[in-house]
Structure 1
């Protein structure tokens, strides 16, 4: 079902799509530079793989944003709003998978006591330590994600967009990877063989932690859990406020709330269904975000919700 969104939200969606195209272009150039100078450094390998995986959230966001506004069809009579939930799961799986894989790689290198070697290359007739070229590439790899992540975060909050939020976390992982990689390369140059793998391990742990959090949030949404806060596993404040507002409007009612993509839907039982409900009157929070609540349905008289159900439980 195509919904009319506020003009400012539509503008944010358009801006988010432009940012994701910029992400593919900038991070694609970072991947190319990192591949050229990677050598045998574990930290550089970690940074390169992480940069490649960081393209996935941008891609799935662009695909999801194209489909979620399509009209319902005979094969998909409820529309495509939940394609955004699926995209969120894909992005979270990518983030968690790369974190787990890279953490395993770094731990293996430390256990095996692998000593990376960073040699010399000829540049304009002069011998130059390859480590300096790696550091320059890593410095470049830090700049785009710092800028992109900073811009995306407030847009993700306004859009209540888990994919864009996961993408901004991936960008944070990108620049953390770059900084830790610089430390690892310099550490190897100073003779600390373990610095390279240790830096890769620290990077990987941070990526894995963010990935697991995003995965828990995406899973909760797909199994009709109460809406979670953006980037966190706790129930969202506006979800609790909506439940409280519906209970106040319909005393004695049992209420449960779920999220489909960006939108909230409430189900009410234990009270007679009114002729109509003004969603704007129900929404308790900032009127700017009222577009999120799109439906309040009433269980037919005599019907009940699960007697064991408790509102607000994860």
Structure 2
């Protein structure tokens, strides 16, 4: 009885499974931190536009970890007849949802804060009685925001490392959001301090700065998510460059004695890739055994190759890169 053909892996290997578990733990810790932060900021919100923007930004920060936690419950389901490519695209959908949420609310905050600046609104910050003493509310605002700075810095660094190893763009987007969180806290402190020294416009200006950073995060993530869902050339986890696995696939195929030339179409499906490899035989024909052996070698090349097919062709399509096309592409990168 012949072995059942395999297209690739449907589950993460042990090392990446452990990384995924660590990512889940840090995302739950992030949610707990954000819930506490949102409650504390709400208690000292006052009439500050910067504090309002920071509070909304904190609520928006819930979107990436929630999207991630929902997606990972779906991502490793076994492929079915209805979903023959598996469920890894759920990561891309989560990425898009998070990006749209960031962009929409950031745009609203810019409009809201800009209207206050144009109208020359002077936000009053009153005083509260605390332990029998009258305290300017601005001190409490700045104190609370200062407390929210250290953990986002730590979370962001940890998530960035995990996102790189797991090739998870939602996790990377969340790490980027954590960077925006602590920058937002700093901006809020500056805005409230500005009101305290008589610079009424500093509050709205800080709010606009915060909102602009939210919009920029949204634009980057929406663009990256749509690009991946449109099956563009696979890139690294931070969308910084074409993923090197495409070159590794071609190099691996060209080591086979019967392969004259090779090319690949590599698309991002979430944590993993779908690879369509095209090969030109030196002898004009190729056996089924050779094709299956080549496919198995590619599957074993990297854990991210979840779905692999090898197609014999007489000539490489330009889109997948022949020898001349590859050299031209390398010079243009």
TM-score, scaled to structure 2: 0.83
Query: Given the alignment of the two structures, is residue 290 of structure 1 paired with residue 306 of structure 2, yes or no?
Result: no
- When residues 253 and 109 of structure 1 are mapped into structure 2, their CA distance, relative to the original with a 3 A threshold, is same
* Whole-angstrom distance in 1 between the partners of 2:113 and 2:161: 33
Name 2:291's counterpart in structure 1: 275
- Provide the residue aligned with 1:47 in structure 2: 54
| Cα distance between partner residues in 2 of 1:120 and 1:108 | 26
Report the equivalent of 2:15.
Answer: 8
Distance 1:282 1:73, change over 3 A: closer
Structure 1 partner of 2:194: 187
Q: Hey, what does 1:262 align to over in structure 2? A: 271
1:218 deviates by 1.2
Does residue 84 (structure 1) correspond to residue 96 (structure 2)? The answer is no
SS in 2 for 1:290: coil
Tell me how far 1:222 sits from its aligned partner. 0.6
Cα deviations across residues 175-208 of structure 1 (Å, max 9, x unaligned)? 1000110000000010001111111122222222
1:159 maps to which of 154, 160, 166: 166
Q: How big is the shift at 1:78?
A: 2.8
Deviations 1:114-170 (A, max 9, x none): 211101111223211110111111112223312211221101110010010101111
Provide the aligned C-alpha RMSD in A: 2.8
Retained in 2: the 8 A contact 1:213–1:232? no
Matched, 1:31 2:43: no
Higher deviation after alignment, 38-47 or 253-262? 253-262
Where do 1:1-314 residues align within 5 Å? 3-232=10-239, 234-243=241-250, 245-246=252-253, 250-269=259-278, 271=280, 274-278=290-294, 281-282=297-298, 290-299=302-311, 301=313, 305=317
CA–CA distance in 1 between the matches of 2:61 and 2:28? 13
- The 3 A distance-change label for structure 1 pair 264 and 147 is same
Q: Deviations over 1:253-303 (max 9, x none)?
A: 3432111111122223462563324568558xxx9x820123332346569
Indicate the larger mover: 160-169 or 113-122: 113-122
The secondary structure found in structure 2 opposite 1:122 is strand
Structure 1 unaligned runs (5+)?
Answer: none
Which 10-residue stretch deviates more, 207-216 or 241-250? 241-250
The total of aligned residue pairs comes to 310
Using the size of structure 1 for normalisation, the TM-score is 0.88
Quick check: 108-117 or 225-234, which moved more?
225-234
Alignment gaps of 5+ in structure 2: 1-7
Q: Is the 8 A contact 1:43 1:184 kept in 2?
A: yes
Greater CA deviation, 213-222 or 31-40? 213-222
Greater Rg over alpha carbons, structure = 2
Q: Distance in 1 between matches of 2:262 and 2:224?
A: 27
How far 1:72 sits from its partner (Å)?
Answer: 2.6
Preserved contact between residue 213 and residue 233 of structure 1 (Cα < 8 Å): no
TM-aligned CA distance change 1:307 to 1:228, over 3 Å: closer
User: For 1:298, what is the secondary structure of its paired residue?
Assistant: strand
Give the drift of 1:101: 2.4
